[in-house]
Structure 1
Amino acid sequence: MKVKNFTTVNYVQLSLDSTIREALSAFLHHQVDMGCVTDQDQLLGIVHKYSIYRALLNQSSLDDGIEPLMKTRVITIHKDQTLYEARDKMMEGNVSQAVVLDHQEKIFGIMSKSDLVTSHMTALEHTINRMTSLIENLQESVISVDSSLNVTAYNQTALKLLKIEKQDLQPEHIIRLFPELGKRLSEAIRKGTIIDAKRMTIYNQTVIASFIPIRELNRVSGAMVVLRDVTSYEKIADELETTTHLKQLLDSALELAYDAVIITDNHGKITRTNRGFLNLYQIQTKEEVMGEPLSAIAPEIHTNQTLKNKEKVEGELIEINRKKCIATSMPIYQNGQKIGTIFKIIFQQLDTWRDILLHMEKLESEVSFYRKELMRMSKKSNPFTPIITSNDQMNKVKDEAMIASKSFSNILITGESGTGKELFAEGIHHHSGRKGSFIKVNCAAIPEELLESEFFGYVDGAFTGAKKGGKPGKFELAHKGTLFLDEIGDMPLTLQTKLLRVLQEQEFEKIGATQPTKVDVRILAATNKDLAKLVRNGDFREDLFYRIHVIRLKIPPLREHLDDIPLLCKHFITKINAKTNKTIAGVSPDVIQKFEQYHWPGNIRELENVLERAVHFCPSNWIEPHHLPDELNLLEANQDSHKKRDQPDFDLADKRKKSVHSSEKQAILKALKECGGNRTRTAQLLGVSRTTLYKKLKQYNIQQTLDFTSLS
């Protein structure tokens, strides 16, 4: 802290011609004890009132000049010096006051001992405030006690951890409240040493406690306990233990494999292998190959195709140590990113290699299952998971919603009907951590005469027909939570005024009540209208608009993220299958193409309705264009114009049946190619069982040659 912040700048300025009378008059006016004698703003000396008193006692006249009384040897300090430097200089000169100068050696003011005391008290107060703020903002819980174990200080984190109120803690004896803590604090005071890292359980929460003695003037005057909640860390440790267990299962599975198995990273370096690979290359221990490039250990294996081109290799015939072997490889993906490659080398009992491949496929399925389970568990912690998208623009809106959810500000969600505004609102509430409920109100669906009672509720006997005991309103139900006002642009002006009052004062009056009700409610509003235009037209209050428009999230329409249509189709078909007990596998590529050409005025809601209708009218496993409603204009333009009026109905049915079979056959061929011929993965991709897949392969005479093709 600098001298200039605590200097008295209201000082007495005198000249060599000033008289004692003028000096005394100036001292009385400024209520100071000292004056500075200057000449052209340069300090010549100082005159102290005690020097004047002595002169008057020695019969000096009030009209005598002050020059004989001036002291020229003056202690000066600079305004930018620290308070500690000023203190040392004044103590060294044994003075109670010093003149403060600026950069031009002109007088800036006077610093006295009282100014120093005031500055040190201010510094002490700032230090205490900083220490208090530091303790309050610690993630750890802190409680201090005196030598009699009475609580002297604590932070809010401690109250939250110990689940007690402020009045329940101070100045209660800590042993009465928490005997285990009191015992350790007493030990720290008695021994005068730190007791560190004691694991304890408080209210089903695991904490690590450190007990620290507090010393004053070289004696122990109390102690403090620092508690760190490690419940979450123990959960993470359990998850790590589960991961380790999965790795052990994977290692065991690799060892049980008949032949050689190698797992590499994206650079081709070996990360895992089994005894079969070591025996094949006559290597003693795994440590000799771990971290080494597979191409250096096993040059016979062609790694470039899988590592660089990310392609699966099926059944490549190679020779290793004069043994005929079959090498296969498959890239490993996680969240769409390639993380490594599995290589399998079959060199034992080649006549049974099909069985071995089945075992390996089972292993791969288990790894895939565990990966999906881990992904599913991670999604539970993300309330925005129901918003299905891979679009950058939509993901940006989700990220903004996650950030906005942690704030206390009101949020306005805009977008066309059917874009998913309510899903975003629910995600914001659940991610915000607010303990109250998520209450939603459709402002356009409630009659105007009932809006006030719906929002604010009423008391018993408020009006004829009122429910006995009264009724809570939406604001009361959303206390400590979130109130979602959907279609707020349709709210009447009269209710807008009352809503504004609730937002400003955080209180409202029930119908028939005489006392206001306090609430803590966060407002999320949504609309498909242009509120700014409504404000200009006088249909929406401007002050309410700015109250709810603190943060704005604009949800893009479906036509601006058409790349999400395949994901949305898969999601909705799974959802509709669960409701209808049907087994629709998906939509054909032609349907996807037509969906991506449509404008979608009803957005995602319209897409779901179209798919639900198509599922009901689809007799096969795949939705084709002719299963879609005519009003979407997705049918062939000339379908009806070329149909003869007297054509038998069974001809059209036969054509549709052939079209379905053709589409189904092409879908199976495409899936087999994508999965490299793996029947298990192909069945999973198509959403059918392996038995159903084999029946379809036989039905359409699909056989495997160098590539998959249909012989019919």
Structure 2
Amino acid sequence: MDFHVDQTLNLADIDYLSVLSAFDEGVIIADQSGRIVFYNEIQSQIDDLEPEFVIGKSVPEVYNLDDNSSLILRCLKSGQPILGELFYYRTCRGKLVNTVNSTFPLKQHNRVAGAICFIKDYNLLDKEISASPAFSPYEGHGHGNGTRFTFSDIIGDDEKFLQSLKEAQLTSGSPSPVMLYGETGTGKEMFAQSIHNHGPRHASRFMGINCAAIPENLLEGLLFGTSKGAFTGAVDKPGLFEQAHGGTLFLDEVDSMPLNLQAKLLRFLQERKIRRVGGGTDINIDVKIISSVSNNPQAALQDGQIRMDLFYRLAVVFIPIPPLRELSNGVELLSRHFIYKYNLVLGKTVMGVSEQVLDIFRRYHWPGNVRELEHLIEGTMNVIEAEDIIRMRHLPRHFLPPEFTVLTEQASGAAAGGRDDAAGASGISHPPIDEFATDGLRKKTTPESLLGRQKAREKELINLALLESGGNVSRAARKLDISRQLLHYKMKKYGLVRGSY
């Protein structure tokens, strides 16, 4: 097979180039300036571009990418590898391409001299996975054991997040109970399913139940099963423990389980036996228990929401999952992933978000975490028209703080009048200061002063709620209609101490 290389760099005599040319993946090599010096035939087929056309051109000349969106240019800048990145791009001739890329810096005398990128066509990869016996479908989607997720589906590069991921992988081979602690939307069920699929029980069933979503009078029968005659209309029916025998049972929001059922769960953990509701026979069960809590477990123990003896048996391995707002680069990384995902689902061609939108994302506290971000991206991409970039005007009004809502309205009006709302991909250009209006009066103000007033008002409302609640955080949170976790976060943010009330 022929290979294509820029002869001026004297790389043609290096033996490894013939190996790269024979790869069944696309390969691109760029020099320190971002100029493409090697481009194999597989990549030519993926892009529908001739090697002779590509060689010698810079990355932005060949692809609709810049320093921030190009993996090669990012790698050259950081000197760090970028592994297994789902990537969506457009060539200079307009072809949209979905790939999985791994990019590595090429160093000479400890200095970055170039970058090499290995590219796998995602559509071909998806077909290979679908044809594999290990990925036989279950109920139309999944791994054939009641799960949809493995560790490869979990995205994040933050140090704290990777530590939690490592602990989850290490514990997957153990029969010991695992408790996952994370706010709503942090991906606790993804972790639970991944632990199951990474361990020796992966061929057996994974069963999960949200203890907070099931009425107390139904939960016991669902978990432990029923015997005929136990109550009017009762039939012999196995519960989730029996159905998960040999596999894994995931108890989501276990701190919402009624105390009488917590006692039955404790008995199982001690004796590895269950008894159906209305039954007289003990049934031996072999199952790995994974549980989760969204609220601080120490607070749940103090409030009597969970038995202490049960907690220590469930939390033999305790894995905290950090919230999205604490993950460095998390919002940017996940935004790219969800844009890629919903491009495929919705048939869109969105390339990314503007710098202004990304700045809002970084400052937002994300009480719904990853789930909230995904739903926001999905909703935005449903209503965006034939555009490549998600801008402020595309975001739902309820998401934007007041000062940005004003900006968006002004920018939308300008766009309707023929003005572009963006300078490149950086987002919305600001209208003149005297265009902002409040209560029908023209006032000179700035986004900063508006934001400052909003923060002051928020602090005032929180302070008032705490005063009226005598410092009881739970009651104050209910008054404000926010979660306890969010109220704790805002109290810390504004320097409000519970003991002062």
Match of 2:119 among 368, 391, 404: 368
Hey, what's the Cα distance between the residues in 1 that align with 2:37 and 2:6?
A: 16
Contact 2:154 2:190 in 1 (8 A): yes
Partner of 1:63: none
Structure-2 residue corresponding to 1:35: none
Aligned to 2:234: 466
Displacement of 1:273: 5.7
What SS is found at the alignment partner of 1:606? helix
Any idea what SS the aligned residue of 1:631 has? coil
Structure 1 distance, partners of 2:300, 2:315, is: 14
Cα offset, 1:544, TM superposition: 0.4
- State the shift of 1:452 in Å: 0.9
Quote how far apart the aligned CAs of 1:488 are.
Answer: 0.7
Letter in 2 for 1:654: A
Q: Which has the higher strand share?
A: 1
Query: 209, 219, 226: which one pairs with 1:441?
Result: 209
Cα drift, residue 409 of structure 1: 0.7
Q: Counterparts of 1:428 and 1:569 in 2: how far apart (Å)?
A: 25
Which of 454, 457, 464 is residue 222 of structure 2 equivalent to? Answer: 454
Q: TM-score under structure 2 normalisation?
A: 0.59
Once the 2 structures are TM-superposed, how far is the Cα of residue 658 of structure 1 from its aligned partner? 2.1
Are residues 1:522 and 2:300 paired? Answer: no
Secondary structure of the residue aligned to 2:420 is: helix
Which amino acid is 1:312 matched to?
Answer: R
Contact 1:507–1:516 (CA under 8 A) maintained in structure 2: yes
Contact 1:418 1:605 in 2 (8 A): yes
Report the counterpart of residue 253 of structure 1 in structure 2.
2
12, 15, 20: which one pairs with 1:271? 15
Q: Structure 2 vs 1, CA of residues 480 and 339 (structure 1 numbering), >3 Å: closer, same or farther?
A: farther
TM-score (norm 1): 0.42
Deviation string 1:489-548 (CA, Å, 9 cap, x unpaired) is 111100000000011111111122221111001110101112223223333211101100
RMSD: 4.1
Residue 509 of structure 1 corresponds to 275
Look up the SS of the partner of 2:151 in the other structure.
coil
SS of 1:592's equivalent? helix
Q: Where does structure 2 lack aligned partners over 5 or more consecutive residues?
A: 19-28, 39-53, 59-71, 76-80, 84-101, 109-115, 135-148, 429-501
Distance 1:258 1:642 in 2: 51
1:465-504 mapped onto 2 (5 Å cutoff): 465-467=233-235, 470-504=236-270
Q: 2:35 aligns with which of 312, 317, 323?
A: 312
String of CA shifts for 1:322-360, please: whole Å, max 9, x gaps.
xxxx9949889773322589xxxxxxxxxxxxxxxxxxx
**Cα 1:423–1:471, aligned 2, differ >3 Å: closer, same or farther?**
same
1:578 aligns with 2:344: yes
Q: Distance in 2 between matches of 1:539 and 1:430?
A: 31
Matched, 1:534 2:300: yes
Distance 2:303 2:330 in 1: 37
Deviation at 1:397, TM superposition (A): 1.3
One-letter amino acid of the structure 2 residue matched with residue 533 of structure 1: A
SS for the counterpart of 1:485 is strand
Post-superposition offset of 1:664:
5.7
Contact 1:263 1:273 in 2 (8 A): no
User: Per-residue deviation at 1:598?
Assistant: 1.1
Per the alignment, do residues 449 and 611 of structure 1 end up closer, same or farther by CA in structure 2, a change over 3 Å counting?
Answer: same
2:483 matched to which residue of 1?
none
Cα drift, residue 393 of structure 1: 1.9
Alignment-derived partner of residue 402 in structure 1: 169
Question: Contact conserved, 2:421 with 2:427, CA < 8 A, in 1?
Answer: no
SS at match of 2:15: strand
Aligned residues: 339
Aligned pair in 2 of structure 1 residues 656, 432: CA closer, same or farther (>3 Å)? farther
- CA–CA separation in structure 1 for the residues paired with 2:215 and 2:183: 23
- Secondary structure, aligned partner of 1:546: helix
Change (3 A) 1:592 1:449: same
Amino acid at match of 1:503: L
Q: Within the alignment, does 1:384 sit opposite 2:146 as a pair? A: no
In the TM superposition, what are the counterparts of 1:72-471 in structure 2 within 5 Å? 252-254=1-3, 260=7, 270-272=14-16, 309=32, 311-312=34-35, 328=56, 335-339=102-106, 368-369=119-120, 383-434=150-201, 435-467=203-235, 470-471=236-237
Correspondent of 2:360 among 585, 594, 607: 594
- Which structure is larger by alpha-carbon Rg, 1 or 2? 1
1:61-72 alignment runs, 5 A limit = none
Question: 1:586 deviation in Å?
Answer: 2.4
2:394 pairs with 1:627: yes
Percent of aligned pairs sharing the same letter: 35
In structure 2, do the counterparts of structure 1 residues 259 and 489 end up closer, same or farther at CA, with 3 Å as the change threshold?
closer
| Deviation, structure 1 residue 651 | 4.7
- Please state whether the residue corresponding to 1:253 is helix, strand or coil: coil
- The 1:392/1:538 distance shift into structure 2, 3 A limit, reads closer
Residue-by-residue CA offset, 1:248-277 (whole Å, 9 max, x unaligned): xxxx222xx69859785xxx9923467xxx
The structure, 1 or 2, with the larger RCO (C-alpha pairs under 8 Å, 6+ apart) is 2
- 1:376 Cα deviation (Å)? 11
SS at match of 2:152: coil
CA distance in 1, matches of 2:388, 2:375: 18
Tell me if the contact between 1:261 and 1:273 (Cα under 8 Å) persists in the aligned partners.
Answer: no
Alignment partner of 1:616 is 2:360: no
Q: CA deviation at 1:574?
A: 2.5
**Partner deviation per Cα, 1:551-579 (whole Å, 9 max, x = no partner):** 01000011111402222112112222333
Q: How far apart, CA to CA, are the structure 2 residues paired with 1:327 and 1:465?
A: 75
Q: Structure 1 residues 590, 650: CA separation in 2 closer, same or farther (over 3 Å shift)?
A: closer
- The alignment partner of 1:615 has SS state of helix
1:631, 1:441 → 2: CA distance?
Answer: 32
1:584-631 per-residue CA deviation (whole Å, 9 max, x = no partner) reads: 332222211211111111111111121122112212232101111223
Asked whether the equivalents of residues 625 and 635 of structure 1 are also in contact (C-alpha less than 8 Å), the reply is: no
